[in-house]
Amino acid sequence: MPGLPPGRTSSVKAQDKKFILQTEFKINPKRAIVTTVSLDGQVIHKVEHSYPLEIETDEDFKETEAAIVAQHESIARKIIVNSNDFIRQTKSIKISRSDRLGVIPGIAYVANVEEKLNGENPPMVYQQARLIMQIGDAITATSRVGALKIAAIISDQGKFVLDRMEEHGHLVTLKNDADIGSIITEIESQ
C-alpha cells in the first residue's frame, strides 16, 4: 500500500483578512477529504467529502492526491469570491468543542464519550474513559482539588486525552507520532 497522501495548508488573503485553509485525508472513522477554514484562530468553515476509493496502488494514490488538491483549491477560490460571507460567519457560528479539538495538529479523532457508550458494543477505551471520569468526579466531590478537566491515557490501544473542559467528556485519539504534552497544552488553550 502506498500510504496516505499529504495534506495541504495555505493562506488566502481577502478583504485585509488572512484565512488559513487546511485540507487532509482522513481514514478514521471513514475515508474522507476534510478542509477547515480558520480566521483569527477560529474555525469558521468545514467541508468534509466522503471518499470511497481505497488507496491500494500508486495510481489510486495520485488520484486521491489530485482530489485533495482540487477540494483545497475550490475552497480557496470560494473564499476569494465570497470573502464577506466567510467573514460574517465568524460572528454567527458557534463551533462545537469537538470541532475545535479536531483541528489541533496531532489529533486523529474526537468522540463524545457518552454518545459512543450509548452505541452498540462500545469499544473498551470509551468504557475506560467513563471510569476515569467517575474517578475524577469522586475526587472532586471529596477534596478541594477541583474538577477533572484533562486526563492523559496511554494504553495498548494508543494515546488518548480525555477532555472535560465543557459539560460532555470527549475522548481525543492522538496520532502515533503526536507529543501528548503539546496536545494537552493546545487543548487547554482552546
State the pLDDT at residue 7.
92
Compute, in degrees rounded to 10, the torsion defined by CA atoms 184, 139, 111, 9: -10
pLDDT tens for each residue of 40-99: 777 888 888 888 888 889 998 999 999 999 999 999 998 888 877 777 765 555 667 888
Continuous H helices in the chain: 58-81, 83-92, 97-102, 113-117, 124-142, 180-189
Tell whether the model's pLDDT for residue 39 goes beyond 80.
yes
The pTM for the full model equals 0.50
pLDDT tens for each residue of 100-145: 888 888 999 999 898 888 888 888 888 888 888 888 888 888 888 7
CA dist., res. 102 & res. 163, Å (int): 12
CA dist., res. 172 & res. 186, Å (int): 12
The residue type at 158: G
CA dist., res. 16 & res. 120, Å (int): 49
State the pLDDT at residue 30.
82
The residue type at 149: K
Reduced to 3 states, what is the DSSP secondary structure of residue 118?
coil
Q: Domains along the chain?
A: 8-93 (no CATH), 107-189 (3.30.450)
Q: Which of 158, 164, 48, 168 is nearest to 103 (CA)?
A: 48
CA dist., res. 27 & res. 10, Å (int): 22
Sequential DSSP letters for 14-61 = ETTEEEEEEEEEE-SSS-EEEEEEEETTEEEEEEEEE------SHHHH
Residues 6+ apart with CB under 8 A from 91: none
State the pLDDT at residue 144.
81
- Pair type for strands 42-50 and 107-112: unpaired
Exposed / middle / buried, residue 32 (Cβ in 10 Å: 0-12, 13-18, 19+):
middle
Q: What are 98-101's contacts with CB under 8 Å, separation 24+?
A: 98/170, 99/43, 99/46, 100/43, 100/190, 101/163, 101/170, 101/172, 101/187, 101/190
